[in-house]
Every structure is written in C-alpha cells, then in structure tokens.
Chain A
C-alpha cells in the first residue's frame, strides 16, 4: 500500500515537479518586524477574492440577467431559496470588505515603500487589480436591478461620460446605448462574470508570482537587526489563516444582522430619488465633482476633476519610477507626505458624502 502510494506521488512529481515547488515553499521566508501586520492584508484580499468566486458561482444558479427577471431572481433568492440570503449577503458584504482591504493593502505597501526596486511591477499589477475590483464593484452593483443601483449607476456612467474626448464613446459602450436600458444589464453581467474574471486571473497570477519570486519587501526605515525572517510555511500562513477566520466571523455577523437589501425594483421612468450616490468607494470622486466650481479658469470644472483623477491615478501607478530615493534604499519622506495627503483626501471626501449629503 505504502509502496503504491509512493509510486503515485513519484509519478505526479516527475510530471508536475511538485518536489521543487515544495522545496521552494519550505525555504520561503517572510520578514517579521513591527510593521509586519500590514502584510496580512494581501492574504485577506486573496481570501475574500476566493469567497467572491465561490459565492459568485453559486449566485449564477439563480440569477437571471434580464431587466424583466433580474430583480425577481434576486428577490426569489433572498426570500425563497434555502441559504440564498446567505450566499448573496456574503457575496455583497465580502465584495465591499475586499475593496476596503485592497485600499488598506495598497496604502500599507505605499507607506512601507514596498513598491521600490525590484518590486515595481508588483505595485503596477496591484494597481491594475484595484481598477479591476473597482470595475467588479461598479458592474456588480447594477445587477440586482433595484432603484438604488439603477440610479447610482446612472450617476456613475454620467461621470464616465464627462471624460474628455472619449467620454461619450465610453459611456455608450458601457451602457449599450445613450442611457441605461435593457441592453445595459446583460452587458454589465458579461463584464462582471466573463471579462473581469479573465483580467483578474491574468493580473492576479502575475501579482502572486511576483510576490512569491521577489518575496516581501522590508521597510527602509528599519535597520537590519530589527528585522528577522520567519518561514512562510507554516509560521506566516497560519497567522494569515487566523486573519481569514476573523474576517469570516465578521462577514457572518454582518450577513445575519444586516443581510444585503433587495430594495425596490428599478423604474427607469421614475424620478431620481433624493440623495442618490454611488457605492462608498467612489464617493470621494463623486463629492469632488459636486463641489468643484462649474468653471476653473477656461476649463469646465467636471472635466478638470476627471482629468485630475486620471493624471493622479497615472502618477500613483508610476510611483515606483518617480520615487528615486526609495529605489536606492533611501528614505523618501516627500512621498510619504503625498501618500498621507491622498489618504486624508479620500477619507475626508468619503466622510463628507455621508455627513453633508446636501453639499
């Protein structure tokens, strides 16, 4: 029996090179220091993504991507399907926590200057993952076809429509016409379950391979003696799993006490309800667009803000190449201050959306 099992393992090993992978895992080390708590957010993001995939696949069993039946299918799922409420609530809550975790992961990587040489492309792939998950959130929000999601998507696509030169074309492509219509929902669905997962698999694959190959970055600010190394297996992975369990409990509590709402079915002919706003992770941009003057010098305020976010995003992506000091292992406080400003801007403008809705 033992011999036959060994033969099977040898057969697999010869073909899939498992022993070399296990050897790599056995030797893999992770730095441990006073800031290493931030490393766990990457693992949390990965865990939440897996939760998204599993619950998303289960939702496909009942969801119907048509304006006549999308809302009804979600309603049935929430009220009649055994554990349907749980699957949908887990999907929605974990999606929101995932976006939050991505932001935390990104800012922690930024402040620890983890983007510096040789991890420039780990940072860039992570930036693209943020965009992909924001697109996941945006496209997924419309799928239940309820009042809030319908009008929030209208607000969002109107913003996309103001992008200079390409805005109108982008908006028409996203919506499948000039306005949200029956053509929009299948398009969002296609984007959400076919295109974005494809992008995610490729980019996430690159991101994870780079993380494994290059290892985790050590902060510049810490002297060598303050950083020790621990094995990835089992030390780090066990702590990672502990974090996943805590997140799982949090999701469970949220789903039981605050299951995701079904809302009212979207009525395209109804007036936009008061106080409509996009999902929370877009609100800092939404509030900026609300408060910017209609014209700044000779440029339309909205266009200027959109251009600002686009240029800001591009610079943010290119930070590893801009921060020359960090690339030669020197402290770069200017970039830390810029990061702090960006973080505060996002927090303040997000808070303003909810605290001063009539701004």
Chain B
C-alpha cells in the first residue's frame, strides 16, 4: 500500500503547479481589442459592453474571429496585422456574416442544427435584391440581429424572439421617413398590433402565434403573392383551407385573381372573426361581392340564419344552467355536455368556409341534439330548484307549527307552575 501512496503524492506535486501555471497563463492572455476600445470610450467602446452578452462570445469567439487582427499584441500597429479586416461596409455585411454562417463544416462545431442557407435566402429576399441593386438602406443581418449584442433567437430579449419580431421589423417598416420612396404602407405594425394574432402573442403569451416572419419568411422575407397567401394561412389553418378549396369561391377567386383568406379577413389587421362577417348584415363580408337578388346572397343569408338560431339555442341552454346553478343545483354534467355543443359550433363556423349548406345543416342538427339534451337537463335542474324551495317552505311551515305548539305548551306549563 505504501508505494501507491507515494505515487499519488508525486502526481499531486506535479499536477497542482501545472494547473496553477496554466490558469495564470490563461489569465495573462490579453485581448488588446477590448482594452483599447474600452480606453477610447464613446462610440468605439460600445462593442465592448455589448459583446459581453453576445451569443458569439458565449461560444468562445472573440473580436478577431470576425474582424481579424492579433488581440495578443498590445501595440495597436502590431495588433492590426495583415489579417485585420476592421468593420465591414454595410453592403458587405451579409457576406461578412456568411463567411462563417454559410460554412456548414465550421458551423457544425458550434450548433449542428443551425441552418447555413441564410445568405442564399437573403439574396432572394426583397432586402437582398435591393442591396444588390445598391440600396444600402435595405436591411442587412445587423438590422435584425444587432451588431455586437447578438442574442440567440431563443433568448426572450433577442430582437428575433417571437414577441420582439414585430418591433424589429417595425423599426424600419413603421418609419414613414425611412420608408419614403419604397411606395409601401407603413401601418403594418399598427394593424398587426390590433390583430387576433397579436392578441394571442402578447396577451395570451402564445409563442406559436404568427409574427411577421411566419408569413413573409425571415432571411428570404418577401410579400407573399396573391396565390401563395392562402398557403401561408393554411400552415396553421389547414382544415379551413381544405374546406375553402372545395368551395365555389376557390375557382371564382382564382379566376378573378383575388387572394383567398385575405379577401374577407384582411392581412395584417386580422381581427377575431365574428359571426356578423357572415350573411347579409352591415358587417357581412359576403355583400361586398354578392348582390341582394343573387343565389349566393340567399345562401349567405340562410347560413347566417341557421348559425344564429343554433347560437341562440346554445345561449338559452347555457342560461338555463346558470339559473339552476345560481339556485344551488349541481349542473356540472350538463355544463360539460354544453362544451360538446360549443365544439360543434366551432366546427359549424369552420364549415362556413366550404359553403356546403347540407354539411352545415347536418352539423347544426348534431349540435342541436346536444343542446336539446342540455336544455332538458337545465329545465330538470330548475324544477329541482323549485322543488327544493317548495319543500323548504312546507317543512318550515310544519316545523313552525310544531314550534308554536311547543311554545304554547311551555307557556301553559310555566303558568301552571306559577299558580302552584
């Protein structure tokens, strides 16, 4: 046993100074880029602070990995050796970033799942095309990802995290002065913020809710064409899209070159759909195209009528249950059943995109059966509430009679006692 101990002691004697020396030598490694920029201050010092949080810094990259030079040299002239590239010009930025990000072998070292086609996509985007044409105002990588404070897209403070994307795009697209000359509206952000998608994202914190890049693409950002809008929406609303494709609207829209979903629901300001969008009322979208005497006008009116009738019946059943619940009767079973009717109502609303009046009618009938069951349960519950109240009155009456009889008997006994 003894020699073994001696051997391990020897290992320690050698290892500890070695570890300490390597730690000291690491500490002594300087980054002259950071030292100088910090000393210079002002605008040139900004990258020093920003880079502290940068995702590249987290992966062990430093200034010289992008800008070249030798950070080990303290002398500025020696540090800016022949490898030094300095800051790229704006039009050079996409290629500058792509020198690493398009290199799959290099990128695999850090994150094998990261895509390496950003530059290719960018060049197909409106931004890329404009930059190629010499418009240096067009967005480049740093406009959306930041320059030295680049955070991973999964970081909630990243400019490309879902709930920050509308503002990231809006920094340019909502700026009237900046967008002057491009002849595109600048109200997209304002409209988006009123949309049902923004509500889902900001209020319900649903990160799967669509933001700008979900419909326009990110690196290959471009406005979707008329024919592709429907496919963009179908990514999240496939069943509605399928129904629409089978509807008479599909051929008509294609022939007239009208974009599918957008025609009724709008684009950036997609509000929560209302039943009033259907039918022939003031807010109905059907009357935008169909004249009062036409067959489609009649169909729209009929569908709305059926839907309203079903909704009214559902509300009336729900109100019965609420009344019964308010009166203390347990109605959780019919309340659960009512959820089935509400699911069917959602299906009916979806079916209106197919304009198949028979399919809608069938689904409504299915729903009405459920509503009828709930209504009956509600009526029974209300009858039960009345029964309970009547029972209470009758039993209280008898108890009261008994109490009066007792009271009189007590009086009689006390009177008798007093006379005795």
Q: Which residues of A contact B329 (CB under 8 A)?
A: 85, 259
| Residues of chain A from 236 to 265 with CB closer than 8 A to chain B in the complex | 238-239, 241-242, 245-246, 248-249, 252-253, 256-259, 262
Interface pair B392/A253, CB less than 8 Å apart:
yes
Question: Residue B142 at the A interface, CB < 8 A?
Answer: no
Whether A241 lies near B388 (C-beta < 8 A) is: no
The answer for the CA separation of A78 and B409 in the assembled complex, in Å, is 39
* A75-B332, A78-B330, A238-B410 as given contacts; A248 in contact with B399, CB under 8 Å: yes
Contact residues in A for B331 (Cβ distance below 8 Å): 79
Q: Which of B380-414 contact A (CB under 8 A)?
A: 388-389, 391-392, 395-396, 399-400, 402-403, 406-407, 409-410, 413-414
Instruction: Say if the beta carbon of B266 comes within 8 Å of chain A.
Output: no
> For the complex, what is the distance from the CA of A75 to the CA of B331, rounded to whole Å?
10
CA–CA, A239 and B391, complex, Å: 26
Known contacts A75-B330, A241-B406, A249-B396; decide if A256 and B388 are in contact (CB<8 Å).
yes
The answer to whether A256 touches B328, judged by C-beta atoms less than 8 angstroms apart, is: yes
Tell me the nearest residue of chain B to A79, going by C-beta: B330
Q: Are B409 and A256 in contact (CB under 8 A)?
A: no
* Contact residue among A79, A238, A258 (Cβ-Cβ distance under 8 Å from B332): A79
- Residue ID in chain B nearest A252 by CB atoms: B392
- B330, A242: Cβ atoms closer than 8 Å: no
What 1/0 flags go to A37-78 for Cβ under 8 Å of B?
000000000000000000000000000000000000001001
**A234 at the B interface (CB under 8 A):** yes
* Chain B CB within 10 A, most for which of A78, A79, A239, A249: A79
Interface size on B, residues (CB 8 A): 23
**Nearest Cβ on chain B to A234's Cβ, whole angstroms:** 6
- In the complex the two chains form, is A249's CB within 8 Å of B399's CB? yes
Interface hits, A201-260 → B, CB 8 Å:
230, 234-235, 238-239, 241-242, 245-246, 248-249, 252-253, 256-259
Q: Flag B298-329 by CB within 8 Å of A: 1 or 0 each.
A: 00000000000000000000000000000011
The reply to whether B407 and A242 contact each other, CB–CB distance below 8 Å, is: yes
Please give the distance in Å from A342's CB to the nearest CB on chain B.
Answer: 34
B18 nearest CB across to chain A (Å):
48
Is B203 engaged at the interface, CB distance under 8 Å to the other chain? no
Q: Given the complex, which residues of B lie within 8 Å of A252, measured CB to CB?
A: 392, 395-396, 399
Asked if B417 is at the interface (CB within 8 A of a chain A CB), the reply is yes
**How long is the Cα–Cα vector from A310 to B400 in the complex, in angstroms?**
44
Q: Tell whether, in the assembled complex, residue A245 and residue B332 are in contact, meaning their CB atoms are under 8 Å apart.
A: no
Q: Which residues of A contact B410 (CB under 8 A)?
A: 235, 238-239, 242
How near does chain A come to B340, taking the closest CB pair, in angstroms? 18
Select which of A79, A230, A245 is within 8 A of B403 by beta carbon: A245
Question: Is B77 among interface residues, defined by CB-CB distance under 8 A?
Answer: no
**CB under 8 Å from chain B, chain A span 90-141:** none
Question: In the bound complex, what is the Cα–Cα distance between A27 and B389 (angstroms)?
Answer: 44
Q: Which residues of the partner chain B approach A262 to less than 8 Å between Cβ atoms?
A: 330, 332
Cβ 8 A contact of A85, one of B330, B392, B414: B330
Q: How far is the CA of A234 from the CA of B399 in the complex (A)?
A: 19
Q: In the docked arrangement, what's the CA distance between A249 and B396, Å?
A: 6
Q: B325-359 interface mask toward A, CB cutoff 8 Å, 1 = contact, 0 = none?
A: 00011111100000000000000000000000000
Scan B241-280; emit 1 where CB is below 8 A from any A CB, else 0: 0000000000000000000000000000000000000000
Q: Which of B396, B409, B417 contacts A238 (CB 8 A)?
A: B409
B402 touches A245 (CB 8 A): yes
Bound form: Cα–Cα A309–B406 in Å: 43
| Contact indicator B406/A245 (Cβ below 8 Å) | yes
**Are the C-beta atoms of B333 and A79 separated by less than 8 Å?**
yes
Q: A246-B403, A248-B399 are in contact. Are A230 and B332 (CB under 8 A)?
A: no
User: Assuming the A-B contacts A230-B417, A249-B399, A257-B328, are A242 and B406 also in contact, with contact meaning beta carbons closer than 8 angstroms in the complex?
Assistant: yes
Q: Which of A75, A234, A245, A248 contacts B413 (CB 8 A)?
A: A234
User: In the assembled complex, which residues on chain A have CB atoms less than 8 Å from the CB atom of B409?
Assistant: 234, 238
In whole angstroms, what is the CA distance A245 to B409 when docked? Answer: 15
User: Does B402 contact A259, Cβ atoms closer than 8 Å?
Assistant: no
Q: Using Cβ atoms and an 8 Å threshold, which residues of chain B touch A253?
A: 392, 396
- Which residues of the partner chain A approach B417 to less than 8 Å between Cβ atoms? 230, 235
Residue pair B333, A256 in contact (C-beta under 8 Å): no
When C-beta atoms are compared, the residue in chain B nearest to A262 turns out to be B330
Cβ distance A230 to chain B, nearest Cβ, rounded Å = 7
Q: How far is B388's CA from A257's CA once the two chains are assembled, in angstroms?
A: 9
- Tell me, in angstroms, the Cα distance from A86 to B328 when the chains sit together: 11
Q: In the docked arrangement, what's the CA distance between A85 and B328, Å?
A: 10
The distance in angstroms between the C-alpha atoms of A38 and B57, with both chains bound, is: 80
Q: How far is the CA of A242 from the CA of B399 in the complex (A)?
A: 10
**Which residues of the other chain, A, contact B389 by a CB distance below 8 angstroms?**
256
Considering the complex, give the chain A residue whose CB is closest to the CB of B328: A259
Of the candidates A246, A256, A259, the one having the most CB atoms from chain B within 10 angstroms of its own CB is A256
Residues of B within 8 A of A234 (CB): 409, 413
The complex places the Cα of A242 from the Cα of B411 at a distance, in Å, of 12
What is the CB-to-nearest-CB distance from B63 to chain A, in angstroms, rounded to a whole number? 46
- The residues of A that contact B402 with a CB separation of less than 8 Å are 245
Task: Tell me, rounded to whole Å, the shortest Cβ–Cβ distance linking A147 to chain B.
Answer: 14
Q: How many Å from the CB of B419 to the closest CB on chain A? A: 14
How far is it, in angstroms, between the C-alpha of A290 and the C-alpha of B332 when the chains are bound? 35
Q: How far is the CA of A242 from the CA of B414 in the complex (A)?
A: 15
Closest to B396 in A: A249
A126 to chain B, nearest CB (A): 27
- What CA separation (Å) do A230 and B417 show in the bound complex? 9
The residue in chain B whose Cβ has the minimal distance to the Cβ of A235 is B413
Tell me the minimal C-beta distance from B239 to chain A in angstroms.
32
Q: Which residue on chain B has the smallest CB distance to residue A261?
A: B330
B392 touching A256 by the CB < 8 A rule? yes
Task: Give chain B residues whose Cβ lies under 8 Å from the Cβ of A242.
Answer: 403, 406-407, 410
Q: List 20 A-B contacts (CB under 8 A).
A: A75-B332, A79-B330, A85-B328, A85-B329, A234-B413, A235-B413, A238-B409, A242-B406, A248-B399, A249-B399, A249-B400, A252-B392, A252-B395, A252-B399, A253-B396, A256-B328, A256-B391, A256-B392, A257-B328, A258-B328
> Chain B interface (Cβ within 8 Å of chain A)?
328-333, 388-389, 391-392, 395-396, 399-400, 402-403, 406-407, 409-410, 413-414, 417
Residues of A participating in the B interface, judged by any CB pair closer than 8 Å: 75, 78-79, 85-86, 230, 234-235, 238-239, 241-242, 245-246, 248-249, 252-253, 256-259, 262
Q: Considering the complex of A and B, which 8 residue pairs feature the smallest CB-CB distances, nearest first? A: A79-B330, A259-B328, A78-B330, A256-B392, A245-B403, A256-B388, A242-B406, A238-B410
